[in-house]
Amino acid sequence: MFRPKAYIILALLLLSFAPASAQERVWNAALDWYENVCGRCADWMDKIERGESVPKDSLQHMLGELTAVRQNLQGVWGEMSPGQRLRFEVIRDRFASGRWNKGPRAHLPALPVMPDRSSRAVKMGVSPLPGYKEYLAATHRIVRPRIRPGILAGLAAGVYPDFSAGVLCGVTLGNWAFFAKARGNVNRSKAEYDCLSDGTIEGGGYFWSGDAKESGRLQMTVDVAYKVVKPLSLYAGAGYGSRTLCWKDWNGAWARVTDRCFSGFAADAGILVHPIPRGAAQGLTLLLGCSWVAGGYLDAEAGVCWRF
């Protein structure tokens, strides 16, 4: 009897030497085997419900093999492609829900015979199981979940050290999200001269503070996010940013603090958190991160948005 644990270990060894295309073939072959075992177990369990006799010991052994291969596939989750992960979830959920032999699969041909331990192709871990091409031809009409684009929209704000507010909008596609973000505030002060943060005035003299200040902020970036685990995505982006700081002197005039003003290339990074996995509010998304403007200005940002 073929042992899935040996298969998975051998597949992992092959993955360390093979290119990406070979890795995909290895996991495709493992998923082929997993799908066929699920089908065989479902058929036997249906026969038991109808009162027909089945090899009891073989069913128990097959269920044990099924559990083992499922655990091993979950253990290498990060090495699969998004399409292979989706296929694994579809197979697992369809079998666990008891819907395996309902609908289109009720008319499928008999499952391929399990390969013998001596099969060199299976030992190598890169060839499809015997009969798989025929099985695939019979199942190509089965509807599988498709990755559909969605909309991401909400509000964003700079929260420290200067406050600014704005919007973000974009699209989602599977584990990916692409969005544009813009925020700013209005600096109503008109600077009449320049000074430095140490209190000196360019050209000579000193700044006498009037204990009032205003800052202006503008940030526009294009970002990309990727879901690394189910409730958490990482995002990063780049664009343009500026920050101006003005002080009011004792005489009521405004001075621009030149060494605290920045403009040019901007970058941001942070996380998107999806706190509610199910239900009506599952589209809620929280944004936490920071942004940087060329010259050394750094601020913290936050936001709330919705995935439609």
Report the residue count for the chain.
308
Predicted pLDDT at 18: 47
d(CA 43, CA 207): 86
C-alpha span between 137 and 130 (Å, rounded): 13
Q: How many CB atoms lie within 10 A of CB 193?
A: 14
Q: Is residue 298 part of a domain?
A: yes
- Asked if residue 144 is part of any domain, the answer here is no
From 109, 139, 169, give the residue that closes a domain: 139
Same domain, 273 and 246: yes
Is residue 26 located within the same domain as residue 155?
no
Q: Are 216 and 241 in contact (CB under 8 A)?
A: no
Evaluate whether 233 touches 305 at the Cβ level (below 8 Å).
Answer: no
- Asked whether residue 108 falls in the same domain as residue 39, the answer is yes
156 and 55 in one domain?
no
Count CB-CB contacts under 10 A for residue 93.
11
Among candidate residues 107, 139, 171, the one where a domain is terminated = 139
Helix (H, G, I), strand (E, B) or coil at 7: helix
The residue range of the domain holding 156 is 149-307
Are 31 and 42 spatial neighbours (Cβ–Cβ below 8 Å)? no
Same domain assignment for residues 133 and 153: no
Q: Are residues 119 and 259 in the same domain?
A: no
Of the three residues 91, 111, 139, the one that is the final residue of a domain is: 139
Query: Residue 271: which CATH number?
Result: 2.40.160.20
Residues 154 and 298 in one domain: yes
pLDDT of residue 166: 96
10-residue block means of pLDDT along the chain (308 residues)? 51 48 70 80 75 67 72 73 82 74 46 40 39 45 61 95 95 93 88 89 81 91 94 96 92 90 96 87 92 95 94
Mark whether 114 and 193 lie in a shared domain: no
Residue 101 and residue 46 in contact, taking contact as beta carbons nearer than 8 Å: yes
Would residue 293 count as lying in a domain?
Answer: yes
**CB crowding 16-44: b at 16 or more within 10 Å, else e:** eebeeeebbbbbbbbbbbbbbbbbbbbeb
Does 170 share its domain with 293? yes
Q: Do the Cβ atoms of 263 and 293 come closer than 8 Å?
A: yes
User: Alpha-carbon distance 64 to 86, whole Å?
Assistant: 23
d(CA 253, CA 239): 33
Q: Report the pLDDT value the prediction gives residue 241, as an integer from 0 to 100.
A: 96
Calculate the CA dihedral of residues 146, 151, 155, 159 and round it to 10 degrees. 40
Within 10 A of 240 (CB to CB), how many other CB atoms are there? 15
Strands 176-184, 209-229: parallel, antiparallel or unpaired by DSSP?
antiparallel
Residue at 265: amino acid letter:
F
Residue 199: what pLDDT? 87
pLDDT tens digits for range 60-86: 777 777 777 777 777 777 777 888 888
How far, in Å, are 19, 22, 26, 266, 295 from residue 12 at the CA level?
A: 12, 11, 9, 42, 47
> Which pLDDT does position 74 carry in this prediction?
73
What pLDDT is stored for residue 185 in this prediction?
Answer: 92
How many folded domains does the chain comprise? 2
